[in-house]
């Protein structure tokens, strides 16, 4: 047991309350009582409705749509818990938005991922738990401990159970190739990589070709997130042009913004697999969508942090 905090408490904002409830079910505790709502003037109000003095508190809040409101809810909840004398406050952020703005790659642009990290720290969080960040270096933006979980073990187990023959794992770009290689190794499958370039600042990309062989094989296209679905649907088109006989797609975070649903509907995808890090859309919108739960993964991490054990135990 953590010698500082005598009791474990879990709270949630409005971004993904169902995930927080599932995490609590795994841990055998009840979700903490709190009022979190927005006034008509768009100011956010938080009130913690139970005693947390001396507790080890975890706040579950992905930065999902509406993103900026989700961020503010988390910051205000952390501040409220700190002022309520919680011993430790850990921000559990299953999906970390603004992850693409992790460096100054153009003149006069911000590093918003660092700004958000600073805000979380200043609000009073003692620790951050997140999952499959867009860029690993974001961990270094924090001056507090960061545990980055991965859904890859859950994804690998799911696809291994399907026993897909002649499987090739396909990375949507060179930047994700290292992570895709790890999944390919877990599935004992070869790796192919889509060559891609980004055009401008509007999230538009152009797929140029494939490194590797997918002809006559089952292609499993993987990425960390599906936002507008431009990258992944271009990858689907390319592997089909190269002779893949069947296509599966997999990502940790299903953002599905803008034209994503329409694009995914039109693409010849046998099955699309994401996790519940972000609330999934209505299955009627995407009938080929499968959502894997990461509640057990986060519950395991929270339990280990609370008990002072290694979080890396989850992956070995």
270 within a domain of the structure (yes/no): yes
Q: Note the Cα 164 to chain centre separation in Å.
A: 25
16 within a domain of the structure (yes/no): yes
Residue 160: which H helix or E strand, with range?
A: helix 152-162
2 within a domain of the structure (yes/no): no
**Residue 227 annotated as part of some ligand binding site:** yes
- 272 and 215 in one domain? yes
Residue 263 tokens, joined: 């694009």
Residue 232: which H helix or E strand, with range?
A: helix 230-241
Q: How many domains does the chain fold into?
A: 2
Question: What does the DSSP assignment read for 64-120?
Answer: -SSHHHHHHHHHHHHHHHHHTT-SEEEEEESS-TTTT--S--STT---HHHHHHHHH
**Residue 229 annotated as part of some ligand binding site:** yes
What is the set of active-site residues? 196
- For residue 228, what is the domain's CATH number? 3.40.50.2020
**Residue 313 annotated as part of some ligand binding site:** no
Return d(Cα 97, Cα 63) in angstroms, integer: 5
Query: pLDDT tens across 58-100, in order?
Result: 999 999 999 999 999 999 999 999 999 999 999 999 999 999 8
Q: Average pLDDT, stretch 101-122? A: 94
**Residue 228 annotated as part of some ligand binding site:** yes
Query: pLDDT tens across 152-197, in order?
Result: 999 999 999 999 999 999 999 888 999 999 999 999 999 999 987 6
- 156 and 47 in one domain? no
Residue 142 tokens, joined: 């924090």
- 100 and 190 in one domain? no
| Domain coverage including residue 190 | 152-292
**Residue 12 annotated as part of some ligand binding site:** no
- 58 and 124 in one domain? yes
Residue 179: which H helix or E strand, with range?
A: helix 177-186
- 124 and 173 in one domain? no
- 157 and 262 in one domain? yes
- 181 and 77 in one domain? no
- 96 and 221 in one domain? no
Return d(Cα 186, Cα 207) in angstroms, integer: 26
Query: pLDDT tens across 259-303, in order?
Result: 999 999 999 999 999 999 999 888 788 999 999 999 999 999 999
- 261 and 188 in one domain? yes
**Residue 143 annotated as part of some ligand binding site:** no
**Residue 42 annotated as part of some ligand binding site:** yes
212 within a domain of the structure (yes/no): yes
- 217 and 139 in one domain? no
- 285 and 161 in one domain? yes
- 156 and 145 in one domain? no
């Amino acid at each position: 047991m953590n010698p500082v905090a005598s009791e474990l408490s879990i709270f949630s904002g409005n971004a993904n309350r169902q995930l927080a409830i599932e995490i609590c079910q795994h841990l055998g505790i009840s979700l903490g009582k709190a009022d979190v709502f927005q006034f008509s003037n768009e100011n956010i109000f938080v009130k913690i409705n139970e005693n947390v003095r001396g507790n080890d508190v975890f706040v579950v809040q992905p930065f999902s749509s509406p993103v900026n409101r989700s961020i503010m809810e988390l910051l205000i909840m952390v501040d409220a818990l700190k002022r309520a004398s919680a011993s430790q406050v850990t921000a559990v952020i299953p999906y970390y938005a603004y992850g693409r703005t992790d460096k100054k790659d153009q003149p006069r642009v911000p590093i918003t991922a660092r700004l958000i990290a600073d805000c979380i720290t200043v609000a009073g969080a003692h620790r951050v738990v997140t999952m499959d960040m867009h860029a690993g270096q974001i961990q270094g933006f924090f001056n507090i401990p960061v545990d980055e979980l991965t859904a890859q073990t859950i994804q690998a187990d799911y696809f291994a159970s399907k026993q897909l023959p002649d499987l090739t794992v396909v990375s949507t770009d060179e930047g994700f190739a290292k992570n895709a290689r790890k999944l390919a190794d877990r599935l004992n499958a070869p790796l192919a990589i889509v060559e891609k370039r980004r055009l401008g600042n509007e999230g538009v990309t152009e797929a140029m070709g494939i490194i590797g062989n997918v002809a006559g094989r089952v292609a499993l296209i993987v990425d960390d997130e599906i936002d507008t679905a431009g990258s992944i649907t271009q990858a689907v088109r390319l592997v089909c042009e190269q002779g893949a006989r069947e296509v599966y797609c997999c990502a940790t975070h299903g953002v599905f913004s803008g034209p994503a649903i329409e694009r995914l509907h039109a693409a010849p995808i046998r099955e699309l697999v994401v996790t519940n890090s972000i609330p999934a859309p209505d299955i009627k919108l995407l009938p080929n969508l499968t959502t894997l739960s990461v509640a057990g993964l986060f519950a395991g991490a929270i339990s280990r942090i609370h008990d002072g054990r290694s979080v890396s135990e989850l992956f070995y």
